[in-house]
Amino acid sequence: MLTHAVATQPVPEFAADVLAGLTKPQKELPSKYLYDDVGSALFEVISVLPEYGLTRADERVLLRNAYDIVERLPMPITVAELGSGSGKKTRWLLKALARRQPTAYCPIEISPTALAMCKRELGDIDAISILGFEREYLDGLAEVADRRKINQHLFVLFLGSTIGNFDRPAGLQFLRDIRNTLQPDDSLLLGTDLLKPIPQLLEAYADPVGVTAAFNLNLLGRINRELEADFALDQFEHVARFNPYARSVEMHLRSKRAQTVTIGGAGFSVRFRADETIWTESSHKYSKDEVFQMAKDTGFRCEAQWIDHEWPFAESLLVAQ
Ligand code: AVI
């Protein structure tokens, strides 16, 4: 049964983050705010765009290698997924696990809508019981770890290259934080999008239909809706850029002219110069070898790696040392 906890994103925190981000010299907004109900629905559409191969690559690797992945895990096991989304790609792993043992699957999500979707998507798999946690990732994981029975191993899923939305030092710190809630021989399946030619990456994040642009602009729409702001959405445009130093694709919202926006619910107004941008997201890209090093630096050992060659993407099994 899914648990339904109190909402985890109270307005004051959102208002404080918007104020902090829009008063920096390079204006920015945390990418986690892209995912309200509208943003999450737009992300589902992005994941089927021909130009954005990441989600399909993730699913293909899991579909093709689920049994191999599961065979390497010690039993009995509880599965915790950080950011389950719709739960679609997890199906193959859970089906493979269900053949070995009845398994508890604990999706951890701040979005109640995503948790409900995940239960609908995966609720039909025999021998899998679903217990959802409406929590921030690390809080939810700590709770799952606390509830584990003696001898029970944890298998954490962090798929879809969500780690790429952290900058590299923060990504490493996040892996260390995960490691610190685990015991030796627990494991983490980490999905990472691999570097590919820059034009291909830019098309993936600035698709010709404009879905990614809508996904990005919806962040301003969300601020209008939730914080009584007056962003004119047609006066901003979506920009995707490759940052060669960070090896990331950045999404920005560029102000088309000089303008002032008032965010009543956060109690401030902000001026934009023409062409000034708000940085809304970075998607870091990795090499296969880099993941082995990341594992080593954070208290794991990368035991195996599966690659999709159609859209270079790696699924890596990291075992806690
Ligand atoms: C969720 N995350 C891994 C996606 C990515 O590719 O960084 C979010 C996204 N942003 C634009 N398109 C997709």
Q: What's the pLDDT tens digit per position in 181-236?
A: 999 999 999 999 999 999 999 999 999 999 999 999 999 999 999 999 999 999 99
Instruction: Using the atom order of ligand 1, give the atom closest to the CA of residue 165.
Output: 7
Compare 3 and 199 and report the one with higher pLDDT. 199
CA distance 184 to 131: 24
pLDDT over 60 (residue 167): yes
Distance 282 CA to ligand 1 centre (A): 8
d(CA 103, CA 136): 23
Output the pLDDT for position 272: 98
Average pLDDT of every residue of the chain: 94
Across 156-160, average pLDDT: 97
| Residue 156 CA, ligand 1 centroid: distance in Å | 20
107 lines ligand 1 (CB under 6 A): no
Supply 186's token pair.
């627990």
pLDDT surpasses 50 at 124: yes
| Residue 92: alpha-carbon gap to chain centroid | 19
Calculate what percentage of the chain has a pLDDT beyond 90: 90
Looking up tokens 């939730």 gives 226
Q: To the nearest whole percent, how much of the chain has pLDDT over 70?
A: 97
Task: State both tokens at 52.
Answer: 């954005």
Q: Which atom of ligand 1 is nearest to the CA of 282?
A: 7
192: Cβ below 6 Å to ligand 1?
no
Is the CB of residue 54 below 6 angstroms from any atom belonging to ligand 1?
Answer: yes
> 93 pLDDT exceeds 50?
yes
Tens-place pLDDT, residues 252-281: 999 999 999 999 999 999 999 999 999 999
What integer pLDDT is reported at residue 26 of this predicted model? 98
Residue 218's alpha-carbon distances to 84, 117, 210, in angstroms, are 21, 21, 12
Q: What is the mean pLDDT of residues 99-107?
A: 95
> Does the pLDDT of residue 13 top 70, yes or no?
yes
pLDDT at 4: 34
Q: Is the CB of 165 under 6 A from ligand 1?
A: yes
Whole-prediction pTM value?
Answer: 0.94
Q: What is the pLDDT of residues 30-77, one digit of tens each?
A: 999 999 999 999 999 999 999 999 999 999 999 999 999 999 999 999
164 touches ligand 1 (CB under 6 Å):
yes
Beta strands in the chain (DSSP E): 27-28, 77-82, 103-109, 128-130, 133-134, 153-158, 187-193, 236-243, 248-255, 259-263, 268-272, 277-284, 300-308, 313-320
Contact status, residue 279 vs residue 288, Cβ threshold 8 Å? no
Query: Which candidate, 86, 6, 9, 10, places its Cα nearest to that of 41?
Result: 86
pLDDT of res. 11: 67
Collapsing DSSP states into helix, strand and coil, what is residue 141? Answer: helix
**Which residue's alpha carbon is nearest to atom 7 within ligand 1?**
283
How far does residue 283's CA lie from ligand 1's centre (Å)? Answer: 6
Contacts of 135-138 with C-beta under 8 Å, sequence gap 24+, read 135/5, 135/8, 135/108, 135/109, 135/110, 136/8, 136/110, 137/82, 137/83, 137/108, 138/174, 138/177, 138/178, 138/181
Cβ neighbours for 304, distance < 8 A, ≥ 6 positions apart: 68, 69, 72, 316, 317
Nearest CA, atom 10, ligand 1: 205
**Res. 101: pLDDT tops 80:** yes
Stronger pLDDT, 168 or 120, i.e. the higher one: 168
